[in-house]
Amino acid sequence: MESKESSLGTPSAAASNADDLGLTQFQGFWIPSRSVPTSSIIAFQKNFQALDDDIIVVSKPKSGTTWLKALVFSIVNRHHYTFSNTPLNSTNPHLLVPYLDIHLYKKNPNPDLSTISSPRLFSTHLPYPMLADSIKRSNCRIVYIIRNPFDIIVSLWHFLRFMDDRSVEDHFEMFCRGEEGYGPFWDHALGYWNMSLEKPSNVLFLRYEELKEDPVAQTKRLAAFLGFPFSIEEEKTGMVNQIVDFCSFNNLKDLEVNKTGKNPGSIIPNNKLFFRSGKVGDYVNHLSPTAVERLSNILEEKLSGSGLTFK
Ligand code: A3P
């Protein structure tokens, strides 16, 4: 491998091959088809019937999905549970807000979702064009969380180190070509960005960095969007802060269910997979300034005219 500076600073030949990594080009995006067979996506697109009060959490992997799931679950269920008996104490957020494609329609092409109490909470990493038509036609709410792509690359590299031995340079190269799970990043982001502008009461565009900077304000914004706004009384009695504290990185990471618990089929504890450092800007420790400039230029070109920018 060349030095980090030169290998990241200039476009180079494919460092890794998308096919070898189990990425399949499907409906215009790169799908990690070993964990999400395209047959389960087709089943979801064909069979899922959205309800108007469904809530769907959407993200690219490593954008803060786990955090957002914990927040959404806590907001919506705050009148049903206290912080000591919430299911989040004993169940990882990914099981409480299941993936439509990775979990539900993979197990069964036509799962019975009728017994789930409303509002039903689901999630997906699929891009907007790949969502079931019933979602697009319904009045359900989609919350999209986005993170600066430089931190996504680093977080994904750490995450996938449990499964493959690609370097951060390899990840970077593939990301720049759009060849990463559910990528290209810019097409994924633009799909939800444009819908959030077109249908703001159905699609909320949240940024990981803004959630980190002002979690209280963003949690209130999220709750209002979901149709579960905090009352003045709740604000006065500190309910928003309590939810923010409960869903904080340190609290979730140290819950026994995440410290030692593992999700079904996984041999790695949840906190190693989903709670690494939870910081903004860790990429400076792994990506050279030249690399950052290169990807910034790609993003500027791909997002040009959309109004979507990254600091
Ligand atoms: P890092 O690897 O940079 O630490 P996802 O949930 O989409 O897989 O994203 C995982 C990333 O979100 C990881 O980033 C993880 O540490 C971070 N994260 C998880 N829970 C968090 C929380 N409560 N607050 C802030 N960041 C969190």
Q: How many CB atoms lie within 10 A of CB 17?
A: 10
Distance of CA 204 to the CA centre of its chain: 13
C-alpha to C-alpha distance for 93 and 89, rounded to whole angstroms: 10
Structure tokens at 33: 């088809």
- ω before 98 within 30° of 0 (cis)? no
Position 7 scores a pLDDT of: 32
State residue 126 phi and psi, 5-degree precision. -70, 145
Which residue's CA lies nearest to atom 19 of ligand 1?
275
The DSSP line for 12-52 is -S-SS-TTTTTEEEETTEEEETTTS-HHHHHHHHHH----T
Question: Which of the residues in the chain have pLDDT under 70?
Answer: 1-16
| Cβ within 8 Å of residue 82, ≥6 positions away | none
Which residue's CA lies nearest to atom 27 of ligand 1?
278
C-alpha to C-alpha distance for 292 and 283, rounded to whole angstroms: 9
Furthest-apart CA pair in the chain: how many Å?
Answer: 59
Ligand 1: centre distance to CA 81 (Å): 24
Q: 62 near 156, Cβ under 8 Å?
A: yes
| Domain-wise residue ranges, the chain | 17-302
Position 265 scores a pLDDT of: 81
| Cβ within 8 Å of residue 198, ≥6 positions away | none
C-alpha to C-alpha distance for 211 and 248, rounded to whole angstroms: 11
- Give, as one character, the DSSP assignment of residue 267: S
**One-letter amino acid for residue 280 of the chain:** V
Position 270 scores a pLDDT of: 85
Ligand 1 touching residue 155 (CB < 6 A)? yes
Structure tokens at 252: 């979730």
**One-letter amino acid for residue 179 of the chain:** E
- Give, as one character, the DSSP assignment of residue 248: S
Q: 174 near 286, Cβ under 8 Å?
A: no
C-alpha to C-alpha distance for 206 and 210, rounded to whole angstroms: 8
Position 16 scores a pLDDT of: 65
State residue 55 phi and psi, 5-degree precision. -125, 130
Ligand 1 touching residue 92 (CB < 6 A)? no
Distances 228 to 56, 67, 220, 224 between C-alpha atoms, Å: 15, 18, 9, 6
Q: Of 125, 171, 188, 286, which one is the catalytic site residue?
A: 125
Position 98 scores a pLDDT of: 97
Going by DSSP bridges, is the β-strand pair 203-207/55-59 parallel, antiparallel, or unpaired?
A: unpaired
C-alpha to C-alpha distance for 224 and 206, rounded to whole angstroms: 13
158 is annotated as an active-site residue: no
For a ligand 1 pocket test, name from 249, 268, 273 the mutation site with the most ligand atoms within 8 angstroms of its C-beta.
249
Rounded to two decimals, the pTM is: 0.94
Q: What would the CATH number be for the domain defined by 17-302?
A: 3.40.50.300
Ligand 1 touching residue 76 (CB < 6 A)? no
> How wide is the angle at C-alpha 43 spanned by C-alphas 40 and 47, nearest 5°?
145
For 174-185, how does the pLDDT look when each residue is reduced to its tens digit (9 = 90+)? 999 999 999 999
